[in-house]
Structures are given as structure tokens and as C-alpha cells.
Amino acid sequence: MKQDIRNREDIRLLMEKFYDKLLADESISYLFTDVAKIDLEHHFPVLVDFWDSILFQSDTYHKNAMKPHIDLHQQSPLEPHHFKTWLGYFITTVNELFEGEKAELARQRATSIATIMQIKVIEMKNNR
Ligand code: HEM
């Protein structure tokens, strides 16, 4: 039986396996590698802080997670298929590694944040 997400090490593992999938898929990887040109050594700790705050109220993430995505969208449009792909890999990765209350919370929050993010991006498009 799989365990639930228990701590930052588990979140780090979740992020690494999730990004393995994202970065192996050319329909979305270019946004990370060519457009945002992320440095994974810098990016992973931020993602861990973000999910640690959501799942365990660690209060380690104090930035606005929407902002970099709005900036990204201005450089290269984020389309509905990107959100579908992102969320699909996130949920698949959670399901492969974990099960329990926190795993369910992670799937729910990822789904709601992705939905809000997509709405914000569509609003921007309409206001151009
Ligand atoms: C179309 C879907 C998405 C794409 C292509 C995407 C891509 C990216 C990229 C390229 C960055 C790095 C930005 C930079 O540092 O310049 C980033 C940062 C981040 N993403 Fe996403 N993302 C997506 C959806 C999401 C969703 C739904 C969430 C949350 C549930 C999320 C959480 C984060 C967080 C926490 C960061 C770090 C923000 C910071 O530096 O404070 N992303 N994303």
C-alpha cells in the first residue's frame, strides 16, 4: 500500500517525478526550457515551499504564484491544452506515488489553482 505525502522530502520526490514527465513532453517542456529558461536547482525549492504551505501550512511560500504565469503567458501563450497536460501529469504522478488525505488535497488544490490560472489568462486575452 502507498503512503500519504508526509513531509518536504515527499513533496520534493513528487515534484521531481512530475517534472520528469513535463520536461519529456515537447508540447509543454519548451515553456520551461526555452521561454522561462528555468534553473531547476532554484525552481524545485520554491515549488517545495509552495506545496509545503498548501499541504502542511508551513508558511514557507510568500510570493504570488499567479504572477510568473501571467508573465509567461505574455511571452508565449498558455493554451487550454497546456493546463490539461500540466494537470494530467500532476494527478498521474500523485497517484503513482501516494495515497491518502494529503494526496487528495494536492489533487484538489492543483485542479482549483489550474482552473483559476486558466481563467485569469483567458481574461487577459479578452482585455487585450
Ligand atoms: C499551463 C500550466 C503551467 C505551466 C506551463 C507552468 C509553467 C511554469 C514555469 C515556466 C514556471 C517558472 C516561472 C519563472 O520562474 O519564470 C512556473 C513556476 C511556478 N509554477 Fe507553474 N505552470 C503551470 C501551472 C501551474 C499550476 C496550476 C500551479 C499550481 C497549482 C503552478 C505552480 C507554480 C509555482 C508555485 C511556481 C513558482 C512560482 C514562484 O517562483 O514564486 N504552476 N510554472
Per-domain residue ranges for the chain?
8-126
57 φψ region: left (φ > 0), alpha (ψ -120 to 50), beta (else): left
Instruction: Kindly list the protein residues whose Cβ atom lies closer than 6 A to any atom of ligand 1.
Output: 28, 31-32, 36, 38, 46-47, 50, 63, 65, 68-69, 72, 78, 82-83, 86, 110, 113-114, 117
Q: What fold does the segment set 8-126 form as a domain?
A: Globin-like (1.10.490)
Report the distance separating Cα 99 and Cα 34, nearest Å: 34
Report the distance separating Cα 127 and Cα 121, nearest Å: 10
Whole-number Å distance, alpha carbon 54 to ligand 1 midpoint, is 15
What is the pLDDT at residue 66?
Answer: 94
What is the pLDDT at residue 67?
Answer: 94
Which residues of the chain fall short of a pLDDT of 50?
A: none
Kindly give the number of the ligand 1 atom that is closest to the alpha carbon of 50: 35
- In terms of pTM, does the model score above 0.85? yes
